[in-house]
C-alpha cells in the first residue's frame, strides 16, 4: 500500500483486492483460507525491515541490480525522433525481470513454512527464475508448462531441469500458458497444506497482483532515478510489453501519478487483431470476465468460454491480463496497442543488428511499439523501453521463421 | 425460495437414508442424449440432480469432468441450451430438485440478472458456483437468494471452525462438503476424517450436509452416506458416458450406462444407515 493522495492511481487495490471493477478473489473454497494466510504473511513481511533488507541484499549481489539504463544510439538515429533508452532487465541473473518477483516470493514461502513450490510458465523465463531460487533455497520445484511451449522454448526446459525442477508438460487445450495455469491451480488445491504457488505474473487472486507488482516496481523506480541522473528530468514516454503484464506494471507503477509521462503497453497482436482467435490482445480484442481468480479483460466467446489466443511469443500467449492493467486501460492512463507477430520479428532483427542486443520475443513487441511512437516525438524528448528479457531462448524458433536453420 | 430441495431431504429422511445427488454434464455427449440422461436420472434413483454448466477452464475438476465439459462444448452446448434442458425436464417432473453447478464466467457473461430470472423461470432450484467464495457474495450469492434460488456453498477440509460461520452464512438448500483437498474424481484417503468433518459442520448448521468428491461405487455411497444427509457422484457418471461412446458419439447404450450406475449407487444409499 502506497502513501499517496486520494486521487492517486497508485492506491489500488482496495481491501477486497479490487482495482475498480477488476481483481478480486474468485477461487475455490479450498484455496480461500490459504489466500487469506498469504495476505497476512505478505503484510507482515512488508512491514519487516529484515525482509526488505534481505531482498535488497540479494537484488544487489545475486540479481545484479540496479540494471543499467542504456542509450540506444543507433536505434535513435534510425528512428529519427525521441532519444531511445533501454532498461536492461535482460541483464539480470536468469535473463529477465522474472527474478525480481521469484526472489520476493520464495522468501515469503520460506517465512510461511511451505516446503514445496509450484509455478506455471509460458516462455519458461518465470519457470527458470523459479527453479533458480528453489535451487538456491533448497526447495523442491514443479513447473507446469504447456506442451506447445515446451517445444518452442526448449532451451529453458533444459535450464529448469538442470536447476533441479520437475517440468510437467500440460497437453490440455492448446498446451500454452492458460492450460499450465489451470493445471498449477489443480495441483495447488490438491497439495494446499505444503505447497506455495509462485505465480509469475501480476494476475490471479488477490493479493498476487499487488504483491507481484510491488516486487517488480523496482524497475520503474530505478528508471526514474536513472533518467533523473542522465537527463535531469522524467522520461516523456515509457513502453513495455504486456502478456499477464508483470514487467509492464513494474515499469509503469512509479510513473502512474506523473501525467507528463506517456505510458504504452504492447499486447500480442498475433496474426492481426481482426483474425478471430488469432491474437492474444485481451484488452484490445476482449472483454471483462472472470478467470484464474480475478476479473479482468479476457479473450472469450459470446457464451463466456475462454479462447486460446495466439502469439509467436510464448510469454504473451495468454487470454487474460493482470487486473490493474484492465483498470489502467479503462481509465486511459495507459495506452494499450496490439503488435503483430511480424512487427515483433522485425523489431527483434533490427535491435539485434543495430544494437547487438538479442531481445526476447516478448520484449520485441514492446520495441515494435516504441518504433511506432519514437519517430512521432521530437529529438529532445526521451522514450524508455523495458527490455524485459533476452532472446537466447528464442533463437531456434526465430531462426526457423527466418529460414536460417536449413 | 423454491421448496423442492427441503421437501426432497425430508422425504429421504423419512425413509432413513441419505439422498443420492447425481451430477451430469449438460450437453454431454450431445444435447438430445444429455436430455435423455437427465430425464432418466430420477427413475434410476437420483434424488437431486446437479446439472453441470460446461466451462472451458474448470480449475477444480479432474480429467473425467473436464472431458465431459469439452465434449459438451464441442457439441455446441451453450448456457441457453442448458437452461432449456431444465425447462423441458420440468414438463414431466416438478419434484426432483435441480441444482446448476459450474463456474462464474459463463453466468457473468450471460448477465447475472438475466441468468437468475431465466434459471428461476426454467425451474432451477439452486446454484453451486465453484469459484465464488463468501468473499465474493455480492456478485451472485446475494442476488440469487433475492431471486428465490438456493445458493449452495462448498465447505472443504481447509474450512476451519473459525471460517465455517462465514461459509455457512448465506448458504441455503444444503451444504456440499468436499471430502478432500483436491479435484473431482480423486480418491478419498481418509474416510473417518470425512465423517468427523460432517459431524463438525452439522454442529454449526441445521442444513443437510452432502458429501462429494471421490465417491464412485455403491460401497463408497453406503460408507459415505452413513454420517451425511446425502452423497454426490459426478466423475463416475461422466466416465460412464465416456465408456459408452463410439468414436466420440452416443450409442444405444449411453443412457443405460448412466442409469445402471445410478441404480447401483441408489442401492448403496439405501443401505447406508442400516450398515451403521
pLDDT digits (tens, 9 = 90+) for A339-372: 999 999 999 999 999 999 999 999 999 999 999 9
Whole-angstrom distance, CA of residue B106 vs CA of residue B265: 31
Of B66, B79, B131, the CB nearest to A303: B79
Catalytic, out of A98, A114, A224, A393: A98
> Would you state the pLDDT for residue A4?
65
DSSP chain B: --SHHHHHHHHHHHTTS-EEEEEEETTSS-HHHHHHHHHHHHHHT-SEEEEE---S--TT--HHHHHHHHHHHHTT--HHHHHHHHHHHHTT-SSS-EEEEE-HHHHHHH-HHHHHHHHHHHT--EEEETT--GGGTTTTHHHHHHTT-EEPPEE-TT--TTTHHHHHTT--S-EEEESSSS-TT---S-HHHHHHHHHHHHTT-SS-EEEESS--SHHHHHHHHTTSSEEEE-HHHHHHHHHH-BTTB--TTHHHHHHHHHHHHHHHHHTTTTT-
Torsion region of B98: left, alpha or beta (phi above 0 gives left; psi -120 to 50 gives alpha): beta
> Is the pLDDT score of B275 beyond 90?
no
Residue A28 to chain B, least CA–CA distance (Å): 5
Instruction: State how far the Cα of B28 lies from the Cα of B243, in Å rounded to an integer.
Output: 13
Partner residue opposite B109 with nearest CB, options A16, A172, A303: A303
**d(C-alpha A107, C-alpha A112), whole Å:** 9
| Cell matching residue A284 | 484490445
Residues of A in contact with B235 (CB under 8 A): none
| C-alpha neighbours within 13 Å on the C-beta side of residue A130 | 32
Q: What is the mean pLDDT of chain A?
A: 95
pLDDT of residue A104: 98
Q: What is the pLDDT of residues B133-154, one digit of tens each?
A: 999 999 999 999 999 999 999 9
Backbone CA torsion sign across A323, A327, A333, A339: positive
All domains of chain A, ordered by start, with CATH?
19-60+97-212 (3.40.50.1100), 64-95+217-401 (3.40.50.1100)
The catalytic position among A282, A311, A388, A397 is A388
Contact between A261 and A234 under an 8 Å Cβ cutoff? The reply is yes
Pull the grid cell for residue A206: 488477490
- Chain B interface includes A18 (CB < 8 A): no
Residue A119 CA from chain centroid, whole number: 14
| Chain B: closest CA distance from residue A38 (Å) | 14
| For residues A138-159, average pLDDT | 94
A189 to chain B, any CB pair closer than 8 A? The answer is yes
Rounded (5°) CA angle A209-A297-A324: 30
Lookup: cell for B7: 421437501
Res A1 pLDDT > 50? no
The pLDDT of residue B56: 96
Tell me if chain B has a CB within 8 Å of the CB of A315: no
Among candidate residues A188, A201, A395, the one with its CA nearest the CA of residue A315: A201
Percent of chain A with pLDDT over 70: 99
Contact flag B158-A29 (C-beta cutoff 8 Å): yes
Please answer yes or no on whether B56 and A306 come within 8 Å at the CB atom: yes
Residue from the list A189, A291, A298 with its beta carbon closest to the beta carbon of B60: A189
Residue A150: predicted pLDDT: 93
Find the residue in B nearest to A206 (Cα): B135
Query: A26 and B132: CB-CB below 8 Å?
Result: yes
Which of A16, A28, A296 is the best residue to mutate to test the B interface, defined by the most B CB atoms within 10 Å of its own CB? Answer: A28
A38-60 pLDDT tens trace: 999 999 999 999 999 999 999 99
Is there a catalytic annotation at residue A120? yes
* CA B227 distance to own-chain centroid: 19
Q: B181 and A185: CB-CB below 8 Å?
A: no
Q: Which residues of A108-144 are buried (b: 16+ CB within 10 A; e: fewer)?
A: bbbebebebbbbbbbbbbbbbbbbbbbeeeebebbbb
Least Cα separation, residue B66 to chain A (angstroms): 10
Contact A317, A336 (CB under 8 A): no
pLDDT, tens digit (0-9, with 9 covering 90-100), for A87-103 = 999 999 999 999 999 99
Residues from chain B that touch A171, judged by Cβ atoms under 8 A, are: none
Disruptive mutation site among B26, B54, B57 for chain A (greatest number of A CBs within 10 Å): B57
- Could you say which of 3.40.190.10, 3.40.710.10, 3.90.380.10, 3.20.20.70 is the CATH number of the domain covering B4-8+19-270? 3.20.20.70
Q: Is the Cβ of A282 closer than 8 Å to some Cβ of chain B?
A: no
Residue B232 to chain A, least CA–CA distance (Å): 18
Residues of B involved in catalysis: 50, 61
- H, E, C per residue of chain A: CCCCCCCCCCCCCCCCCEECCEEEEECCHHHHHHHHHHHHHHHHHHCCHHHHHHHHHHHHHHHCCCCCEEECHHHHHHHCCCEEEEECHHHCHHHECHHHHHHHHHHHHHHCCCCEEEEEECCCHHHHHHHHHHHHCCCCEEEEEEHHHHHHCHHHHHHHHHCCCEEEEECCCCCCHHHHHHHHHHHHHHCCCCEEECCCCCCCCCCHHHHHHHHHCHHHHHHHHHHHHHHCCCCCEEEEECCCCHHHHHHHHHHCCCCCCEEEEEEEEECCCCCCCCCECHHHHCEEEEECEEEEEECECCCCCECCCCCCCCCCCCCCCCHHHHHHHHCCCEEEEEEEHHHHHHHHHHHHHHHCCCECHHHHHHHHHHHHHHHHCCCCCEEEEECCEEHHHHHHHHHHHCCCCC
Scanning every residue of chain A, which has its alpha carbon at the shortest distance from the alpha carbon of B109? A304
Candidate from B108, B110, B131 with C-beta closest to A28: B131
- Average pLDDT on A177-205 reads 94
Q: Looking at CA atoms only, how far is residue B5 from chain A in angstroms?
A: 23
User: Choosing among A25, A31, A32, A287, which should be mutated to test the B contact, i.e. which has the most B CBs within 10 A?
Assistant: A32
For chain B, say whether A204 makes contact (Cβ under 8 Å). no
Task: State CA A343 to chain mean position distance.
Answer: 20
- CA B215, B220, B223, B228: dihedral to nearest 10 degrees? 20
Scanning every residue of chain B, which has its alpha carbon at the shortest distance from the alpha carbon of A24? Answer: B136
With both helix axes pointing from N to C terminus, report the angle between A154-162 and A125-136 in degrees, rounded to the nearest 10: 10
Write the pLDDT tens digit of every residue in A264-291: 999 999 999 999 889 999 999 999 999 9
Among B6, B8, B12, residue whose Cα is nearest residue B221: B12
Give residue A404's pLDDT: 85
- Average pLDDT rounded to a whole number, residues B56-71: 94
d(CA A34, nearest CA chain B) in Å: 8
Q: Are B234 and B250 in contact (CB under 8 A)?
A: no
Please, what's the b/e burial string for B135-148 (b: 16 or more CB within 10 A of its CB; e: otherwise)?
bbbebbbebbbebe
Q: Which chain B residues touch A173 with a CB distance below 8 Å?
A: 56
The pLDDT, as a whole number, for residue A152 is 82
Reported as a single tens digit per residue, the pLDDT across A293-350 is 999 999 999 999 999 889 999 889 899 999 999 999 999 999 999 999 999 999 999 9
Least confident interval from A141-145, A358-362, B38-42, B214-218 = B214-218
Pick among A13, A23, A26 to test the B interface (most B CBs inside 10 A): A26
**How many whole angstroms separate alpha carbon B257 and alpha carbon B252?**
10
Residue A100 in contact with partner chain B when CB distance is under 8 A: no
Distances (CA, A) of A129 to A98, A132, A176, B64: 6, 5, 18, 33
pLDDT computed for residue A195 by the predictor: 97
The crossing angle, in degrees rounded to 10, of helices A32-46 and A98-111 is: 100
The CA distances from residue A136 to A133, A141, A239, A328, in Å, are 5, 11, 32, 36
Task: Give the residue-averaged pLDDT of A179-200.
Answer: 94
Question: What are the distances in angstroms from CA A231 to CA A71, A256, A301, B235?
Answer: 11, 20, 47, 63
Amino acid at each position: 500500500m502506497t502513501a499517496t493522495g486520494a486521487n492517486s492511481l497508485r492506491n489500488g487495490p482496495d481491501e477486497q483486492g479490487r482495482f475498480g471493477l477488476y481483481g478480486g478473489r474468485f477461487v475455490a473454497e479450498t484455496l480461500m483460507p490459504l489466500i487469506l494466510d498469504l495476505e497476512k504473511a505478505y503484510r507482515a513481511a512488508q512491514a519487516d525491515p529484515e525482509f526488505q533488507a534481505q531482498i535488497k541484499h540479494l537484488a544487489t549481489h545475486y540479481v545484479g541490480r540496479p540494471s543499467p539504463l542504456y542509450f540506444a544510439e543507433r536505434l535513435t538515429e534510425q528512428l529519427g525522433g525521441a532519444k531511445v533508452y533501454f532498461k536492461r532487465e535482460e541483464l539480470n541473473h536468469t535473463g529477465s525481470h522474472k527474478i525480481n518477483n521469484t526472489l520476493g516470493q520464495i522468501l515469503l514461502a520460506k517465512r510461511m513454512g511451505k516446503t514445496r513450490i509450484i509455478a506455471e510458465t509460458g516462455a519458461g523465463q518465470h519457470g527458470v527464475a523459479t527453479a533458480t531460487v528453489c535451487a538456491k533455497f533448497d526447495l523442491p520445484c514443479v513447473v507446469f508448462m504447456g506442451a506447445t511451449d515446451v517445444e518452442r522454448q526448449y532451451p529453458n526446459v533444459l535450464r529448469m531441469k538442470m536447476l533441479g525442477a520437475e517440468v510437467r508438460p500440460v497437453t490440455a487445450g492448446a498446451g500454452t500458458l492458460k492450460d499450465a495455469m489451470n493445471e498449477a491451480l489443480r495441483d495447488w488445491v490438491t497439495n494446499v497444506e505444503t505447497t506455495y504457488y509462485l505465480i509469475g505474473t501480476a494476475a490471479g487472486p488477490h493479493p498476487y497482483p499487488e504483491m507481484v507488482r510491488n516486487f517488480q516496481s523496482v524497475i520503474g523506480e530505478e528508471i526514474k532515478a536513472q533518467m533523473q541522473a542522465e537527463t535531469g528530468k522524467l522520461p516523456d514516454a515509457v513502453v513495455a510489453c504486456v502478456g499477464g503484464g508483470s514487467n509492464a506494471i513494474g515499469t509503469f507503477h512509479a510513473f502512474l501519478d506523473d501525467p507528463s509521462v506517456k505510458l504504452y503497453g504492447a499486447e500480442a497482436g498475433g496474426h492481426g487483431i481482426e483474425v478471430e482467435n488469432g491474437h492474444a490482445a485481451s484488452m484490445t480484442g476482449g472483454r471483462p470476465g472472470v478467470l484464474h481468480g480475478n476479473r479482468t479483460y479476457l479473450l472469450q466467446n459470446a457464451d463466456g468460454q475462454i479462447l486460446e489466443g495466439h502469439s509467436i511469443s510464448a510469454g504473451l500467449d495468454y487470454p487474460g491480463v493482470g487486473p490493474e492493467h484492465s483498470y489502467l486501460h479503462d481509465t486511459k492512463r495507459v495506452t494499450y496497442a496490439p503488435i503483430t507477430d511480424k512487427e515483433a520479428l522485425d523489431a527483434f532483427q533490427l535491435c539485434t543488428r543495430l544494437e547487438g542486443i538479442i531481445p526476447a520475443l516478448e520484449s520485441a513487441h514492446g520495441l515494435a511499439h516504441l518504433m511506432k511512437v519514437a519517430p512521432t516525438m521530437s529529438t529532445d524528448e526521451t522514450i524508455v523501453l523495458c527490455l524485459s528479457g533476452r532472446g537466447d531462448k528464442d533463437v531456434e524458433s526465430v531462426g526457423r521463421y527466418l529460414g536460417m536453420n536449413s | 425460495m423454491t421448496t423442492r430441495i427441503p421437501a426432497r431431504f425430508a422425504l429421504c429422511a423419512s425413509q432413513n437414508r441419505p439422498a443420492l445427488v447425481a451430477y451430469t454434464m449438460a450437453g454431454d455427449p450431445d444435447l438430445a442424449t444429455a436430455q435423455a440422461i437427465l430425464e432418466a436420472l430420477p427413475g434410476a434413483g437420483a434424488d437431486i440432480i446437479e446439472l453441470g454448466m460446461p466451462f472451458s477452464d474448470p480449475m477444480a475438476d479432474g480429467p473425467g469432468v473436464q472431458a465431459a465439459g469439452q465434449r459438451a462444448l464441442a457439441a455446441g452446448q451453450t448456457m441457453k441450451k442448458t437452461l432449456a434442458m431444465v425447462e423441458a425436464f420440468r414438463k414431466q417432473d416438478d419434484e426432483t430438485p435441480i441444482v446448476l453447478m459450474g463456474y462464474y464466467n459463463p453466468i457473468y457473461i450471460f448477465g447475472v440478472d438475466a441468468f437468475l430470472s431465466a434459471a428461476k423461470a426454467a425451474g432451477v432450484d439452486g446454484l453451486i458456483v465453484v469459484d465464488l467464495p463468501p468473499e465474493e457474495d455480492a456478485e451472485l450469492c446475494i442476488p440469487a437468494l433475492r431471486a428465490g434460488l438456493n445458493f449452495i456453498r462448498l465447505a472443504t477440509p481447509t474450512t476451519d471452525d473459525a471460517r465455517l460461520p462465514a461459509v455457512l452464512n448465506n448458504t441455503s438448500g444444503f451444504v456440499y462438503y468436499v471430502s478432500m483437498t483436491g479435484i473431482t474424481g480423486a480418491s478419498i484417503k481418509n474416510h473417518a476424517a470425512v465423517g468427523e468433518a460432517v459431524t463438525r459442520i452439522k454442529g454449526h448448521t441445521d442444513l443437510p450436509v452432502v458429501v462429494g468428491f471421490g465417491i464412485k461405487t455403491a460401497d463408497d455411497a453406503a460408507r459415505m452416506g452413513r454420517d451425511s444427509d446425502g452423497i454426490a457422484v459426478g466423475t463416475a457418471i461422466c466416465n460412464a458416458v465416456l465408456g459408452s461412446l463410439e468414436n466420440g458419439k452416443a450409442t444405444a447404450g449411453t443412457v443405460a450406462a448412466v442409469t445402471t450406475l445410478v441404480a447401483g449407487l441408489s442401492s448403496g444409499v439405501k443401505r447406508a444407515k442400516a450398515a451403521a
